[in-house]
Amino acid sequence: GAVVSQHPSWVICKSGTSVKIECRSLDFQATTMFWYRQFPKQSLMLMATSNEGSKATYEQGVEKDKFLINHASLTLSTLTVTSAHPEDSSFYICSASREGNSPLHFGNGTRLTVT
Amino acid sequence: AQKVTQAQTEISVVEKEDVTLDCVYETRDTTYYLFWYKQPPSGELVFLIRRNSFDEQNEISGRYSWNFQKSTSSFNFTITASQVVDSAVYFCALTRLNSGGYQKVTFGTGTKLQVIP
């Protein structure tokens, strides 16, 4: 069964609003989670590394004020897309591993559409 | 810098044919992991295999097999007797271990496999 749960699966929002996406590790604690973005028919691009109890590490070119990441517990990381614009429409997917070098498991992803 | 190249953008095969998906990687790390993931139309990423840089043994799992060759920096994936359910986008990925122990993954651009009944 799934070991990483992501919610919601899809969301439609209006421009200017904020959207929060949750990523939960179901039966293990994850000190680190990763957030990816995937445009249609393209690969996954790492956006940021979410660290429990500390600030996220963002990849070059990713606006940290635009994509707020909070990793308040060992089983939950959230990604908030603030003041969403149509160009933020994409597939967002999170991942986590049970321990440092174990395989990464991915959530089912969230398809965001900004109108 | 890490890089993963999947030169095949799309492949179509007839059911029961064998198909090989190519993956070539670049890394300066001596310790790294290679992955294959399957992404069906529903979007989720399904973990298929992980191989570390010290283990060049080929692996077989049912109809799936993987050929890791460090000398050519390749990690190819073969599906034997393909089935319609194999239709998906397949991603090859490369990770390195950071000092904190977690992984930073670089994905290839994916190969879309269509198995025609």
What pLDDT, in 10s, does the model give residues B14-45?
Answer: 999 999 999 999 999 888 889 999 999 888 88
Q: Using an 8 Å Cβ cutoff, are B110 and B6 in contact?
A: yes
Does B117 sit behind a cis peptide bond, omega within 30 degrees of 0 on the bond before it?
A: no
CA distances from A74 to A24, A26, A32, A54, B63 (A): 9, 10, 8, 12, 37
Q: How far apart are CA B37 and CA A107, in angstroms?
A: 13
Comparing B103 with B76, the larger pLDDT belongs to B76
**CB-based contact A49 B102, cutoff 8 Å:** yes
The answer to whether B91 faces chain A, any CB pair under 8 Å, is yes
Chain B partners of A34 at a C-beta cutoff of 8 Å? 103-105
| The pair of three-digit structure tokens given for residue B110, joined into one six-digit string | 């994916």
8 A C-beta contact, residue B110 and residue B8: no
Candidates A42, A99, A105; nearest CB to B47:
A105
d(CA B106, CA B35): 10
B69 touching A (Cβ < 8 Å): no
Say if CB A24 and CB A14 are below 8 A apart.
no
Minimum-distance CB partner of A43 among B97, B104, B107? B107
What number is the average pLDDT over the span A77-82?
96
Q: What is the pLDDT of residue B65?
A: 94
- The whole-angstrom distance between A19's CA and the closest CA on chain B is 20
pLDDT score for A39: 87
CB-closest option in A43, A49, A101 to B109? A43
Specify the amino acid at residue B107: F
B41 touches chain A (CB under 8 A): no
Asked if A31 lies within 8 A of B91 by C-beta distance, the reply is no
Amino acid at B5: T
Q: Which residues of chain B have a CB within 8 Å of the CB of A62?
A: none
Residue B39 contacts by C-beta under 8 Å, 6 or more apart in sequence?
B45, B46, B88, B89, B90, B91, B110
> pLDDT at position B103, please?
67
